A = this chain, B = another copy of it.
Amino acid sequence: MTLEVNPSDELSRDPRAARRAANALKTDLRDLRVQLAMLNHRVGAQAELRDIDLDCLDLVSQHEPVGASALAKLAGLHPATLTGVIDRLERGGWIVRERDENDRRAVVLRTQPERNRDIYQLYSGMNGLIDEICADYTPEQLELIAGFLRRTTVAGVHATARLEEEGA
């Protein structure tokens, strides 16, 4: 006589279903990445910023106050390239350079909150659509999804660092 199990449990433990689901998810994640890159490209065009500038602006937002060296390392850019990026971002009023008090060689970068609301405005269409999507999930489900996103971001940090040291 066979052991009967709950069908839902059965599905949950089928390793083939798990692998299929994981692979499908990786494909979906890749598609999302490309689409978000395209969206960012359009946002950047409206704001007269190159793709890399917008990425750096996001990085400054995340890590401010941040030094130029640290940002170059985060972004994987040559220091001289970053000087150009910072020049453009500062000229456009998106960030400001400040001298580091403790190390007068270094510069510290900060975002200009008012100016960055202009960027937020450009994302408002996307943000509204995401809100509509979120409305179809419970807070618990949203937290499940958000947790996955955060863990994937951490994985990205590690995978990026790994590639960096291999490339060096």
Contact = CB atoms under 8 A, between A and B. Distances in A.
Contact of A134 (B25, B38, B158): B25
Task: State the oligomeric state as a number of copies.
Answer: 2
Contacts of A37: 33, 37, 40, 55
Nearest to A41: B76
Given A39-B163, A160-B39, A163-B125, A142 B55 contact: no
Contact of A59 (B34, B46, B132, B138): B34
Contact of A42 (B42, B125, B164): B164
Given A133-B155, A134-B22, A163 B34 contact: no
B55 A150 contact: no
A137 B151 CA distance: 12
Interface in A89-139: 122-123, 125-127, 129-135, 137-139
A127 B43 CA distance: 29
Contact of A139 (B11, B30, B42, B152): B11
A70 interface: no
A137 B22 CA distance: 9
A7 to B, nearest CB: 12
